Amino acid sequence: MVRQGKLLEVQDLQKNYGKKNNITKALNGVSFDVLPGEFLGIMGPSGSGKTTLLNCIATIIKPTSGRVLLNGENISAFDSKDLAEYRGSRIGYLFQDFELLDNLTGQENILLPLSIHGIDFAKAHTKLDDLAFFLEITDILNKFPSQMSGGQKQRVAAARSLISNPDIVLADEPTGALDTRSARTLMNKLEGINRSRGRTILMVSHDPNAASFCSRILFIQDGVIFHELRRKHDESQEKFYERILHLLAQLGGGSVNVL
Amino acid sequence: MFSRLIYRNAKRNRKENLIYFATLVTAVASFYIILSLGRQDVILFLKEFESDAIDKLLAQMPIVYLFSLFLLFFLTLFANRYQLNRRSKEFGLYLMLGMRKERLILQLLAEGFITSILALIGGILIGGFLAEIISLTVSKLVGQGIIGHQISLSVGAIFFTIVGFLFIQFIALAILGGRLFNQEVHQLLYEQMDKKQDMGHLKGNVINILVGSILLGAAYWIVLYRFMDFAGLILFAALALGSLGTILFMRGFAKLLGLLANMSERKSTKGLHTFTLRQFQENIANRSTSVAVTSILIMLAIILLTDGASTIMGLENVYTRGPAIYDFTVNSDNQKAEQFLTSEKMVSYVEDLNFLEIGQMKYQDEHGEDDLPLSLVDWSKLREQLIMALPSNYREQILSGEMQYYDISSENPEALNLFGVLEIDATKPYLIPETSYNGLLEAIGETPLNLDSDEIALYFNPDFMPMDDVDIMPVLDRILEDALEERQSLMSINDQEVFIHPSIPMRGLVADRSVEITSAFIVPDQMFEQLLDTETYVSYWNFCIPQKLQEQQGLMKAMMEARDLLQSSGFEFESYLQNFGRKLFYVVAGSYTTLYLGFLFLIIACTVIALQFLTQMKQTGQRYVTLSVLGAKRKQMKQSVHRQVLLTFLLPMSLACVSGAVGIRAMISFVIIYFDDQVLLYPIALTFACLVLGIFVIYGVAVARSADHEIDKLRWKPNID
Ligand SMILES: Nc1ncnc2c1ncn2[C@@H]1O[C@H](COP(=O)(O)OP(=O)(O)O)[C@@H](O)[C@H]1O
Ligand SMILES: [Mg+2]
């Protein structure tokens, strides 16, 4: 394997909520790296700090301490103006509840990051058509979100997160609001995007099924990362899924500290 | 604890929602202003001369009050609904925490009451201040130091303002409270804008726009060309068509915007252009009816304001003296009146004192065949000459006997007017002795008449005889000149040939209206005594305020003083003040209500637009969060919001301007509005345009700032699983 530079470095990230006498330590010193082309999953039970972690990376919230480096640049120290440059162009997002603007058509939603950043999207149309074809949303580009199914919405959202060729796509429980079938379709597409186009994805989920599409999984609890699983080179998704389930059973049954 | 919550909430309401509070204050202020009309300086002033008319005007005010009560009720209903929608989550929470619905509604009413009291205090203060300013401005405009200033504070007005406002506020809250009572907690917690994005089919929209435009066009056509058909009833048809057209137009327009958005997307558009359009489209599409209603309100406001403004332009006319030169006419037994007018205390107010005698001519002693009295006047030769001088079409009508009656109008040729007047008057003409008229001529610095014993002069009252120049009658003079050359007499009285003096300067015979005659013969004094029908005899003392006194004190003030003296003397009299007061009354009565309603409509429309926009803003706040996550800067989003505000105000305003212009055009061509003062036209038009624009700008800026505030408040709220 060729040694690549780190795309994302998370260093000792801490995030506290609340005031002095009532502090929630949502993140309690989280560190990890993401390599280019990786499909990294982060798993953990509800309230373990997944969303907080992702939002810190996404620059949506400011960490209490620690650093987030994207291509070596400390984006957690940026001021809001520089952050706006990053959002939507260098970082793409996928949310549990899609966050599509319901008064814009699918196509308008997808192109939104480009227009926000003032990118001439006359050239982007080939890219749009390509993405739409791959995500199977060509037919619904001119529909409004209210006329789409959940799965379609999330695929439109996926297209939106990819349109500006971001360095990394952050996804927070992207299958959380979808039924099993749509969730599977979506994960297949994300995997495809990761594999065939080399797009780096960082996904947070508590769903082992979704997580089994990843190439590596970090486990988080109470704001700390305590375990890591890697998918073997030729391991099938089903096999990986079995392993995750197995691990979760162990975690649920025994003490966390054992691992 | 409970009462503290109420107080705190009421306070937060006012702070958080300045527009809501400002709306209530505006409502209160409008009530106060209309109710305190009777205390306005100009009205108090007019009451002294035109008390009947003023009473009639004031008697109309309760109707205006009730009408504005009705309008402002909807405004408060709307404002309160907006406010409650903003807080629906909070109410849901109270209910979740176990508060009973009755209690919640009681709390709402209590909060509403506190807010109302504060709105009342603020509104009455502002209303009082505005009323005072209006009072001062008007008396300054009317001016010349004649109107004393009185504080316009009126207890009755305050009372009815409070009663009226609390009444509508209570009803509005009761209705909204009732609705709240019937809502599920869930609805309250998750209330959102209609999620459905019905952007419609293109075909239907084009039809909407087409039909809307056609209806509007029909309405415009009716207004422009069929204004007065069916006794003006057709105007209602025009109004209905116009309103329906406006609604359809707005409905279709919203959807056409979608098309525009689609088109712009294919071009390389930068920034939040598409988003802005879509937001605007949604705002219009979801509320096309109320956008149309605001547009109609603005149109009405524009028309009313123009009408009011055109009346104000008539103010200049109030000061231009008509043909009456005398300031006072005392109508009394001549000796005593003369004594009084030349007495020590009056003498400094009296100049050009003149005794006017007037009466009609006798008939012949014998009666005619059918027992009708016979006139002493034979003017057949003059009549012939006048007919000869007529344009041929009129001449034929008269000769064939087709013309039955005579309109005296400024559009007629001079000869026709003369002919008509004499035809009516010459049988039993009014007589004025030469000396009486000479007094008048002297007062205006003209040479006295000095008539021969067989000479008369014709007098035409310039008030009733429209003439370009009251001193010259070219056609008459030519006829008289020709007759003089041929030494021919054109008239005989009592079988004696008389000669007619060339035309003389003509002025009003009295100060106002005590003598209302169209024409008279000015005759030598001797002839007056001979021919007078003594039963018709009347006499007056006329005088002017001395020039010097006018320069010292101003005409109005001196007149008021003289009037007070005369009033205490008990003589019957009239003065130019009455004339002035009457004209002023028309201006005041004609402008006050229209301007008031105009501004009221404008403010209501603006408030509705503003509240609607902010409601949408609040309900779609999450979109801005999403935008910011996609990398939009606050500045970018604010820019988009400002554009939305601009468009939201511009759309109803543009259509209103077009419709308003058509309405005004029609009213001008049917002389309901006319601008008779070209000098004042531009300043006044400019002032009103600025006022209207100013109101829009104030509202627009207020909305934009609230929206900015909402955007600044946006925080990313992570969804907790
Ligand atoms: N805005 C917030 N204010 C206070 N506490 C918060 C906030 N967001 C999250 N938390 C707390 O931080 C912890 C981690 O939350 P979160 O990151 O949402 O976990 P997850 O996404 O893994 O369910 C939880 O205990 C949660 O209650
Ligand atoms: Mg989460």
Residue B636 in contact with partner chain A when CB distance is under 8 A = yes
d(CA A159, CA B407): 83
The helix or strand, by DSSP H or E, that contains position B430, with its residue range, turns out to be strand B430-433
d(CA B639, CA B135): 42
| Closest ligand by atom to A56 CA | 1
Chain B residues whose beta carbon lies within 8 Å of the beta carbon of residue A96: 719
What average pLDDT does this structure show over A127-155? Answer: 92
Describe the crossing of helices B51-86 and B88-96 by its angle, rounded to 10 degrees. 60
- Helix or strand or coil: residue B452? coil
Q: CB atoms < 10 A from the CB of B675, how many?
A: 15
Contact A108, A140 (CB under 8 A): no
Chain B residues whose beta carbon lies within 8 Å of the beta carbon of residue A112: 274-275, 627, 630
Q: Which residues contact B410 (CB under 8 A, 6 or more apart)?
A: B466, B467, B468
Contact B285, B603 (CB under 8 A): no
| Closest ligand by atom to A52 CA | 1
Contact B284, B254 (CB under 8 A): yes
Q: Whose CA is nearest to atom 26 of ligand 1?
A: A47
pLDDT > 70? residue B265: no
pLDDT band at B560 (very low <50, low <70, confident <90, very high): confident
Residue B656 in contact with partner chain A when CB distance is under 8 A = no
pLDDT > 90? residue A9: yes
| CA dihedral sign, ordered B491, B494, B499, B505 | negative
d(CA A198, CA B322): 94
- Helix or strand or coil: residue B522? strand
Query: Is A104 within 8 Å of B275 when comparing Cβ atoms?
Result: yes
% of chain A exceeding 90 in pLDDT: 55
Query: Is B630 within 8 Å of A93 when comparing Cβ atoms?
Result: yes
Q: Which residues contact B103 (CB under 8 A, 6 or more apart)?
A: none
This prediction's pTM: 0.80
pLDDT at residue A3 in the model: 44
Q: CB atoms < 10 A from the CB of A22, how many?
A: 7
Share of chain A residues as helix, strand and coil, in percent rounded to the nearest 5 = 40, 25, 35
pLDDT at residue B548 in the model: 86
d(CA B192, CA B205): 26
Q: CB atoms < 10 A from the CB of B383, how many?
A: 18
The helix or strand, by DSSP H or E, that contains position A200, with its residue range, turns out to be strand A200-205
Which of B270, B278, B716 faces A118 most closely, judged by CB atoms? B270
For B430, how many CA atoms within 13 A lie in the half-sphere containing its CB?
20
Looking at the CA of residue B720, tell me the nearest atom of ligand 1: 18
pLDDT at residue B290 in the model: 86
What average pLDDT does this structure show over A73-102? Answer: 82
Closest residue of chain A to B621, computed from CA coordinates: A101
The alpha helices in B226-272, defined as continuous H runs, are 234-266
pLDDT > 50? residue A259: no
pLDDT at residue B222 in the model: 86
Residue B199 in contact with partner chain A when CB distance is under 8 A = yes
Q: Which two tokens stand for residue B675?
A: 């601008």
Q: Secondary structure of A41-88 in the HEC alphabet?
A: EEECCCCCCHHHHHHHHCCCCCCCEEEEEECCEEHHHCCHHHHHHHEC
Q: Whose CA is nearest to atom 4 of ligand 1?
A: A17
Query: Is A116 within 8 Å of B620 when comparing Cβ atoms?
Result: no
B499 CA → ligand 1 middle, Å: 114
Q: Which residues of chain B from 249 to 308 reach within 8 Å of chain A, CB to CB? A: 261-262, 265, 267-275, 278-279, 281-282
A37 CA → ligand 2 middle, Å: 24
DSSP B390: S
What average pLDDT does this structure show over A197-201? Answer: 92
Top-confidence residue, B163 or B284: B163
The CA-CA-CA angle for residues A79, A82, A87, to 5°, reads 115
pLDDT tens string B325-348: 888 888 876 788 888 888 888 888
Contact B604, B71 (CB under 8 A): yes
| Closest ligand by atom to A24 CA | 1
pLDDT > 50? residue A254: no
| Closest ligand by atom to A219 CA | 1
B561 CA → ligand 1 middle, Å: 85
Which of A87, A88, A104 faces B274 most closely, judged by CB atoms? A104
Across the strands, what pairs with A16? A25
Q: Which of A17-21, B257-261, B517-521 has the highest mean pLDDT?
A: B517-521
Which of B279, B281, B630 faces A112 most closely, judged by CB atoms? B630
Q: Whose CA is nearest to atom 7 of ligand 1?
A: A17
Nearest to A59 by CA among A80, A33, A30, A35: A80
pLDDT > 50? residue B272: yes
What average pLDDT does this structure show over A63-84? Answer: 83
Q: How many helices (H) and strands (E) does chain A have?
A: 8, 10
Which of B267, B636, B716 faces A116 most closely, judged by CB atoms? B636
| CA dihedral sign, ordered B72, B77, B81, B84 | positive
Which of B197, B274, B279 faces A115 most closely, judged by CB atoms? B274
Closest residue of chain B to A162, computed from CA coordinates: B630
- Please return the burial class of B627, using the count of CB atoms within 10 Å of its CB with bins 0-12, 13-18 and 19+: buried
pLDDT band at A19 (very low <50, low <70, confident <90, very high): confident
Describe the crossing of helices B18-35 and B155-181 by its angle, rounded to 10 degrees. 140
Contact B270, A120 (CB under 8 A): yes
Tokens 């101003």 -> residue: B554
Q: Of A14, A17, A206, which is best to mutate to test ligand 1, by the most ligand atoms within 8 angstroms of its C-beta?
A: A17
- From A189's Cα to the closest Cα of chain B, the distance in A is 22
Nearest to B121 by CA among B37, B32, B39: B32
A43 CA → ligand 2 middle, Å: 10
Which of A51, A80, A115 faces B270 most closely, judged by CB atoms? A115
- Print burial letters for B535-557: b (CB count within 10 Å at least 16), e (below 16): eeeeebbbbbbbeebbeeebbbb
Looking at the CA of residue A220, tell me the nearest atom of ligand 1: 22
Contact B520, B428 (CB under 8 A): no
Backbone φ and ψ of A15, nearest 5°: -140, 120
pLDDT at residue B638 in the model: 92
pLDDT tens string B152-166: 788 888 999 999 999
Contact B358, B520 (CB under 8 A): yes
Q: Of A43, A46, A52, which is best to mutate to test ligand 1, by the most ligand atoms within 8 angstroms of its C-beta?
A: A52
pLDDT band at B672 (very low <50, low <70, confident <90, very high): low
| CA dihedral sign, ordered B576, B582, B587, B592 | positive
pLDDT > 60? residue B144: no
% of chain B exceeding 90 in pLDDT: 17
pLDDT tens string B44-85: 888 877 778 888 888 888 888 888 888 889 888 888 888 887
Query: Is A58 within 8 Å of B629 when comparing Cβ atoms?
Result: yes
Q: Which two tokens stand for residue B475?
A: 């056609």
Looking at the CA of residue A173, tell me the nearest atom of ligand 1: 21
pLDDT > 70? residue B420: yes
Q: Which two tokens stand for residue B68?
A: 């504005």
DSSP B151: -
DSSP B303: H
- From A234's Cα to the closest Cα of chain B, the distance in A is 34
Contact B427, B491 (CB under 8 A): no
Q: Of A13, A23, A24, which is best to mutate to test ligand 1, by the most ligand atoms within 8 angstroms of its C-beta?
A: A24
pLDDT at residue B718 in the model: 42
pLDDT band at A1 (very low <50, low <70, confident <90, very high): very low
Tokens 């429980």 -> residue: A173
pLDDT tens string B494-527: 888 899 988 888 888 888 888 888 889 999 999 9
% of chain B exceeding 70 in pLDDT: 90
pLDDT at residue B681 in the model: 73
- Helix or strand or coil: residue B370? coil
Looking at the CA of residue A55, tell me the nearest atom of ligand 1: 17
Residues with CB under 6 A from ligand 1: A 17-18, 24, 26, 44, 46-52; B 718, 720-721
Pairing, β A168-172 against β A91-94: parallel
> Which residue type sits at B22?
A
Mean pLDDT of chain B: 83
| CA dihedral sign, ordered B381, B383, B384, B385 | positive
Pairing, β B430-433 against β B373-375: unpaired
Nearest to A73 by CA among A7, A130, A133: A7
Top-confidence residue, B9 or B362: B362
| CA dihedral sign, ordered B310, B313, B319, B322 | negative
pLDDT at residue B166 in the model: 92
Cα dist from B109 to A4, A113, B214, B376, B443, whole Å: 68, 46, 47, 85, 72
pLDDT > 90? residue B21: no
Tokens 């080179």 -> residue: A233
Top-confidence residue, B369 or A102: A102
Residue B718 in contact with partner chain A when CB distance is under 8 A = yes
* Greatest Cα-to-Cα distance within chain B, rounded to the nearest angstrom: 119
What average pLDDT does this structure show over B672-679? Answer: 64
* Dihedral angle computed from the Cα positions of residues B601, B603, B605 and B606, in that order, rounded to the nearest 10 degrees: 160
d(CA B420, CA B408): 7
Contact B466, B414 (CB under 8 A): no
A49 CA → ligand 1 middle, Å: 6
Residue B626 in contact with partner chain A when CB distance is under 8 A = yes
* Dihedral angle computed from the Cα positions of residues B77, B79, B83 and B86, in that order, rounded to the nearest 10 degrees: 110
| Closest ligand by atom to A171 CA | 2
What average pLDDT does this structure show over B1-6? Answer: 68
When mean pLDDT is compared across A186-195, B356-365, B566-575, the lowest value belongs to: B566-575
Looking at the CA of residue A49, tell me the nearest atom of ligand 1: 17
pLDDT at residue B103 in the model: 84
Describe the crossing of helices B273-286 and B234-266 by its angle, rounded to 10 degrees. 150
d(CA B130, CA B137): 10
The CA-CA-CA angle for residues A106, A108, A114, to 5°, reads 125
Q: Whose CA is nearest to atom 3 of ligand 1?
A: A17
- From B213's Cα to the closest Cα of chain A, the distance in A is 27
- Cα radius of gyration (chain A): 18
d(CA B199, CA B195): 12
Closest residue of chain A to B265, computed from CA coordinates: A108
The alpha helices in B190-231, defined as continuous H runs, are 202-225
B719 CA → ligand 1 middle, Å: 8
pLDDT tens string B193-245: 444 455 555 666 778 888 999 999 998 988 888 777 766 677 788 888 998 99
Query: Is B265 within 8 Å of A46 when comparing Cβ atoms?
Result: no
ipTM of the complex: 0.86
pLDDT at residue B301 in the model: 93
Closest residue of chain B to A116, computed from CA coordinates: B271
Mean pLDDT of chain A: 88
Nearest to B180 by CA among B89, B306, B72: B89
- From B622's Cα to the closest Cα of chain A, the distance in A is 8
Interface with chain A: mutation pick from B630, B639, B717, highest number of A CBs within 10 Å: B630
d(CA A223, CA A10): 13
Q: Whose CA is nearest to atom 5 of ligand 1?
A: A17
% of chain A exceeding 70 in pLDDT: 94
pLDDT at residue B432 in the model: 93
Nearest to B78 by CA among B613, B595, B701, B602: B613
pLDDT at residue B267 in the model: 58
Chain A to chain B, count of Cβ pairs less than 8 Å apart? 109
Nearest to B296 by CA among B226, B252, B227, B248: B248
Nearest to B355 by CA among B238, B438, B233, B454: B438
